Structure formats: structure tokens, C-alpha cells
Copies of this chain bind each other. A is one copy, B any other.
Amino acid sequence: MYKVGILGATGAVGREMMKILAERQFPISELRLFASSRSAGKVVEWNGRPVMIQEPSEENFRGLDIVLGAAESDIARLYAPEVVRAGAVFVDNSSAYRMDDDVPLVIPEVNPEDVKLHHGIIASANCSTIITVTAVNALNAISPIRSMVASTYQAVSGAGAGGPVELAEEVEALRTGKPVQPKVFSHQIAYNLIPQIGGEQYEGYTSEEMKMQNEGRKIMHLPDLRVTCTCVRVPVVRSHSISVTLRFDKPVSVREARHAIAAAPGCRLVDDLGNHEYPMPLDTSDQDLVYVGRIRPDLTDDNGLTLWCCGDQIRKGAATNTIQVAELLIEK
């Protein structure tokens, strides 16, 4: 049995982690929940028992085996050293440490062996990257992926618990003829699309867009992988979708790809256009599999394939993946 903490327990991902730890019957003897002073002292129920939220500190981390990071990067950076000094392993969902050389970046279905290389911190990947890489990794085993062109369709809950609230408020404001006043997003998201997630990072690409290349390279051990990504916020509550065109070293047939994805851990093949069956956000919400469909040849490159994948970014794209990493940790 393990003593486990959650840093950022009151956010969208933290709350989902609590649910999933119970669901997966993670062997926990003690759960400690950490959040800002605003929430500290409040008591929440977990698995039938009351747990008091406390402020994060080295002192309060002491005795824990694992701390799951569900907070933003700046909070993760602030407390990771204290978690490590307190003797726990920090399994972090934020982007703070993902690209650090001595921090493994892990999707359990893709590179579980990398967990062993940790020095106190292990990172879980970006949500869209997890969904895309879980979908395409089985194809990478047939022939190495040279490049990907990805366009994302990202749900509002990817911006945290405030995202769905803002979408609902805007839909209601429009219904009742009141003004729409965006706070979480830079523009109205109801009945609109916002083609920016994150700030500008490289050559006109946003930080969110560059994660697909940088994290994809590290997770799949493909240092030369080239990725062009466009990240777009869409008025969907939950589950991110990605349209991705892949180029391989050698041709991969649609038939081979379908077989590989049907057999891949973490994936579900949903690919029957004639019967209107393909991955959709509504169908992939509140579960852990990445749905993959619309697999067809890339008409622009003989070594290419194109496909559509969809997954719950709060679960597999964040909370579940982080907990799966913690499960690998206790297996060893």
C-alpha cells in the first residue's frame, strides 16, 4: 500500500485523479490533497472517507511515496524540489519538466521502460500529444514515422474547470440576449473557433503546437521527427480530436494500420464510414481509450497515411496517464 498526494487537487485534473485512483483501486493507505491556501482546511470525500485539503510544503509531503502533479507549471516548479527532498516521487502532469534531460516523459502504452530512468521526477505528456501518440505509436512500430501534420480540435475543458463554465455562460448569454464577456478564453468560444492555444513560441507556432513535435520526439524516441501542428479551441465540452497526416520511412497500408491500431494497447479502432462510425468527442468522453478512425492513404505522399483520433483529454490526456505512470512505478 502506498501513501499518495495530489498537488492541485481542486482543479479539473486533480478532481479527476481522485476519481480515477478510486476507480482503478490504486493501493493507497493514505491520500493527501494539496491546494492553495484558498482551499486549505476544506474537507472533501474520497472513497467514502473525509480528506482535509492542506497547503503544499516539504513538511506536508514527508512520508508520501508518490505525489501526482495536477497543478499548472509554475506551481509544479515551485513544489517539485520539496516533493523530491521529502523523499517522494513527483509524477507531474504539467509541462514544467517534460523536456528536461533527466526527467522521463512517459505514455505507459508507448515507452513504459523510460520510467526506470527517473531521478525523482517523471512527467506525463501534453493532452493532445498523448492522444495522438497513443493513436499512432502502433504505426511507428511498422515503419518509423518521419513527420506528422496535425490539426487539433480541442475541448474547452482543456483550459481547466473554468472552460466549460465559460462556454455554458456564453451559450446562456446568447440565448437571453445578454453580452458575452470572455474571461478564460481570449474571444467568445460559443459557436466560434479560436485558432490559438498557448503563447507564441517558435516561428509563429504556439507553445501548445510545439509540444506535439518536442514531446513526440522524446516519447517515441524519434529525435528527427518533424511535426507541423495547428491547435484550435472548439466549442466542445470534453475530449480532444486530432486530424493527423503521417509520413513513414516506408509505405504502410491502410489494412496494416487498421490491424495494428485494433491490437494497440490504449486504442480502439472505430472506422466504418459507411455506417457513420468514427471517433467523436461525445463517444470518447469519460473513458480512457483513444478512438482511431478515418484511416486512409495520404493522397499527397505514397509513404503517408491520414487518420482522425479522439480521446478524453482530462482522463487519458492527463489524469489517467499520470496515474498509469504511478502504477508502473509501483510495479517495479
Contacts and interface: CB of A to CB of B under 8 A. Distances in A.
Interface of A: 147-149, 151, 153, 171, 175, 186-188, 191-196, 200, 203-206, 213, 226-228, 230, 232, 234-237, 241, 243, 245, 247, 254, 273-274, 276, 278-282, 293-301, 304, 306, 308, 310
When all copies of this chain in the complex are counted, the total is: 2
Nearest to A201: B273
A296 B204 contact: yes
A149 B274 contact: no
Given A281-B192, A282-B192, A300 B247 contact: yes
A254 to B, nearest CB: 7
B296 A203 contact: yes
Contacts of A304: 228
Contacts of A306: 149, 228, 230
Contact of A274 (B187, B200, B232): B200
A273 B243 contact: no
A12 to B, nearest CB: 16
B204 A273 contact: yes
B297 A192 contact: no
Given A204-B294, A228-B304, A278 B151 contact: no
A147 B301 CA distance: 9
Nearest to A171: B171
A115 to B, nearest CB: 29
Given A186-B276, A295-B204, A300 B196 contact: no
25 contacts: A149-B149, A149-B306, A151-B243, A153-B153, A153-B193, A171-B175, A187-B280, A188-B282, A191-B236, A191-B237, A193-B236, A193-B241, A193-B310, A195-B293, A203-B254, A203-B297, A204-B295, A205-B296, A205-B299, A226-B299, A226-B300, A227-B299, A232-B241, A232-B243, A234-B235
A306 B212 CA distance: 15
A278 B191 contact: no
B148 A232 contact: no
